[in-house]
Amino acid sequence: MANTSLFASLRNRLAPKASVRNEAGGLAYARRPESVLALYAATGCLNGTYYASADEQLDYVLQLSAAADAGFVAKTAVYARERGHMKDMPALLLASLSLRDGESMQRAFPRVVDNGRMLRNFVQILRSGRVGRKSLGSRPKRLVRQWIENASVEQLLAAAVGNDPSLADVIKMVRPKPADAQRAALYAWLIGKPYEESALPALVREYEAFKRDRRGPLPKLPFQYFASLPLAAAQWGELACNVSWQTLRMNLNTFQRHGVFEDPRRVAEVAARLRDGRAIAKARAFPYQLMSAYNAGGGLPAPILEALQDAMEIATRQVPALDGEVVVAVDVSGSMSSPVTGYRKGATSKVRCVDVAALIAACIQRKHPGARVLPFDTSVRSLRLNPRDSVMTQAAQLAALCGGGTSVSAPFAALNSERAKVDLVVLVSDNESWRDTRQGGATATMREWAQIKARNPNARLVCIDLQPVATAQTVESADVLHVGGFSDAVFELIAVFAAQGGDSARWAERIGSIAL
C-alpha cells in the first residue's frame, strides 16, 4: 500500500502550513504587505479595536507605508478615499508620502483632499509630528495654499466648520494670497480679523444680517452655523429641509427636540429627502450609518423610520445578483462586539462589527433569497431568516446572537458534514480564530475549505474583513478573494469575483491599476 503521508491528497495540497499567530493567539497566515496596507486603509479609523490600540494601529500603518512602493501608497490613499469613503487613513497615507516622495503625494493630493474636512485632517496629521515632521514643508504648504485659493466660497464656509485645526488656523499657517477685495474680506472674516462687510461675499453678508435680525429666511449655510442661535420651530423646520443629507441623518433627534416633526408637512418633506436615491449616492452613505440612525431614532415619527428603512434598501442595492448555491458565514463571536470604527473617547460608534457583518449577510439574502446564512462563534448557531423581512430586521436578528469564542472553521465544517453543494461562500469575520487552532500545520478553516473544494471544484470563497488585521485564516488564491471594508466597493468586488473567479483582478491589483 502507498505511503498515505507521502502521497498527500488534494485536500492536504490545498491546505498550506500556517506560520504565524493572530492577535488572539490562534494559528494564521500572514497576508501580503500590499494586502495588509489595503486592508488597514479600508477599515482602519485610527481608533482602538478589540485587540489593538489606536497608537499600535498608527505605528503599524506607518511601517507598512514606509516599506511599500510610494506609488502604491498613493493609489491606496486614493482608493480608501474614493471607493472606501474613509477620512483619517487616506490623509495619513498622503502625509506619510510628504517626506519620501513628494511627486506621488502631489499627484494623489487633489483626489484625497476633496473637501475642507480632508484638508484639515491632512494638516493636523502633518503637524502632529507622527509622520516625522511638525511643519507642513514647502510642497504640502503650497498644495494646501492652492486648495484654499481655488476653493469656492461655499467650500470655504463648509471647511470652516470644525477645529483642531480650524480653517482659520490653516489660513494663518499657509497665508493664501487673496485674488480680490472680496476674497481678502472673506479671509479676514474667517480668521477673526477686521473686515469691510460690504466687501464680503453675498452669502456671508446674509448670515451677518441674519444674526442681527433673525426674522428673515435662513442663509444656505451648513447646519453648524445656526446650532447655537435661538431659532423658532419654523426656522428649525426650514433648516431640516436645507441641510445636507448626511447632516439631516445625523441630527434627526435634534430636529425632533426642536419641534420640527410636530408639523406633518415637515415630516413628509424630511422623509422624502431621506429616501432620495441621488442624495444618498452623493452623500456616500455607509449602510451602517443608516442602521445607526434607525436604532437611535426610537422616538421619531413612523414615516421617518420607514424612510430610513427605504434609504437602507437604496444604499444596499449595489449587492450583486449571485448565481448558484450561496452561503454567507457571519461571525457573531464576542470580539465582533467592538465598534466597527473603533473606540474613541467621546466619539465611539454604537454600531458594532457584528452589526455590519449581519447587515452584509442580510443584504445578500435580500438580493438572493436562496442564500443560506450561517451565524457562528465556536459552532454554527441556529437562526432562520425570512428573506421578505427588511434588511434592518434581518440584521438585528443576526446581531442579537453576538457572544462566545471564535472558530472560523465552524461553518465550513458544518457544510462538509452535510456534504453540501457550494458555489460561493462569503465569510464576514475579524479573523481572530483561536478555538479551532492546532500546534502546527494548516488552519482548521483552510483544511475544511480544502474539503469543500475537493467536493465542489468550482467553489469560490470571499473573505470580508471588518477590522484591520495582518493575518488571515485562509490563503488568497485563484478561488479565494480577500477584501476589507464596509462600503459598496466590497459588493462590487464580490460581483466581479463571483462572475470571473481567478480571472478577476485581486484587490491589491485593482488598487495598483488606479491611474494618478
Q: What is the per-residue pLDDT across 11-29, written as a single tens digit (0 to 9) for each?
A: 455 578 888 888 888 889 8
| pLDDT value of residue 1 | 39
User: If you average pLDDT over residues 356-365, what whole number do you get?
Assistant: 84
Stretch among 182-191, 202-211, 257-266, 507-516 having the lowest mean pLDDT: 507-516
Is 275 contained in some domain? no
Is 303 contained in some domain? no
Residue 350 domain boundaries = 11-30+319-512
Where b means 16+ CB within 10 Å and e means fewer, 261-283 reads: bebeebbeebbebbbbeebbeeb
Distance, C-alpha 288 to centroid of its chain = 9
pLDDT, tens digit (0-9, with 9 covering 90-100), for 400-452: 898 889 999 999 999 999 999 999 999 999 888 888 887 778 999 999 999 99
Is 396 contained in some domain? yes
Is the per-residue pLDDT at 49 higher than 60? Answer: no
Residue 371 sits in a domain whose CATH number is: 3.40.50.410
Is 162 contained in some domain? no
pLDDT, tens digit (0-9, with 9 covering 90-100), for 227-243: 888 999 999 999 998 89
Q: Answer for the pair 74, 107: CB distance below 8 angstroms, yes or no.
A: yes
Q: How confident is the prediction for the chain on average, in pLDDT? A: 87
pLDDT, tens digit (0-9, with 9 covering 90-100), for 72-99: 999 999 999 998 888 888 999 999 999 9
Is 116 contained in some domain? no
The residue behind cell 469560490 is 460
Is the per-residue pLDDT at 353 higher than 70? Answer: yes
Is the per-residue pLDDT at 315 higher than 60? Answer: yes
Instruction: Return d(Cα 260, Cα 233) in angstroms, integer.
Output: 6
Is 117 contained in some domain? no
Q: Which residue has the higher pLDDT, 14 or 381?
A: 381
Is 470 contained in some domain? yes
* Structural domain count, the chain: 1
Is 409 contained in some domain? yes
Is the per-residue pLDDT at 130 higher than 50? Answer: yes
Q: Answer for the pair 459, 424: CB distance below 8 angstroms, yes or no.
A: yes
